Chain A
Amino acid sequence: DTGVSQDPRHKITKRGQNVTFRCDPISEHNRLYWYRQTLGQGPEFLTYFQNEAQLEKSRLLSDRFSAERPKGSFSTLEIQRTEQGDSAMYLCASSHPGGEQFFGPGTRLTVL
């Protein structure tokens, strides 16, 4: 499969715990994006990378959220001290510059 992959697909955690999600983009894509989607809503932009550089961050990305793409390939999104309001689907997408964004299957986070 040469599409965008995300791991894990589902994560259940207790409030206050830290969680980390991984995204592997399509290999030749140098742009990588993170979005969050809650039930009944469209995805909301969180942040994006061009190669290893994080070029844009949404104000939705509070201090508890951090994203990295250390080698310009895979990316991780970490949420510290999770809150119930963090429960959502976290989507990753990748693209060529100016090209269409291809989305992964998402990681469903449930914070108890």
Chain B
Amino acid sequence: GESVGLHLPTLSVQEGDNSIINCAYSNSASDYFIWYKQESGKGPQFIIDIRSNMDKRQGQRVTVLLNKTVKHLSLQIAATQPGDSAVYFCAERSDSSYKLIFGSGTRLLVRP
């Protein structure tokens, strides 16, 4: 398959460790934030979302943290698995516009 991103920042973690992927977003008026996972040759896949009135949301093995003061979003993946290897993008949007604005991605590599 083709590479999603050739020059992306890369996070390399050992299988079983926790991963933290960070994102700085651009618009302080954004109401909604999403993390997507993109594997080579595929479209982005929804992982977890959070609204601007929250600062933390947990899913299965994933947690998203939102710090509106510094416009920072993070994705925590517990017990990282080889299948988690992909490029991860954060995205934001406001309720007045349904277009998503994507941040720059991070490539996650999981070492066996």
Contact = CB atoms under 8 A, between A and B. Distances in A.
A103 interface: yes
A98 B34 CA distance: 13
Interface of B: 2-8, 34, 36, 41-46, 49, 89, 91, 95, 97-105
B91 to A, nearest CB: 7
Contacts of B100: 33, 35, 43, 45, 101
A91 B4 CA distance: 13
User: Which residue, of B7, B97, B100, has the highest number of chain A Cβ atoms within 10 A?
Assistant: B100
Given A100-B46, A103-B43, A108-B2, 10 more contacts: A4-B43, A33-B100, A40-B7, A43-B89, A45-B99, A48-B99, A58-B99, A101-B100, A105-B43, A106-B42
User: Which residue, of A42, A44, A93, A101, has the highest number of chain B Cβ atoms within 10 A?
Assistant: A42
Interface string A46-77: 00100000001010000000000000000000
Interface residues of A, number: 26
Contacts of A105: 41-43
B31 to A, nearest CB: 10
Contacts of A95: 98
A100 B49 contact: yes
Contacts of B102: 41-44
B45 A39 contact: no
A25 interface: no
Contact of B97 (A40, A43, A56): A56
B90 to A, nearest CB: 8
A22 interface: no
Nearest to B89: A42
Interface in A74-112: 91, 93, 95, 98, 100-106, 108
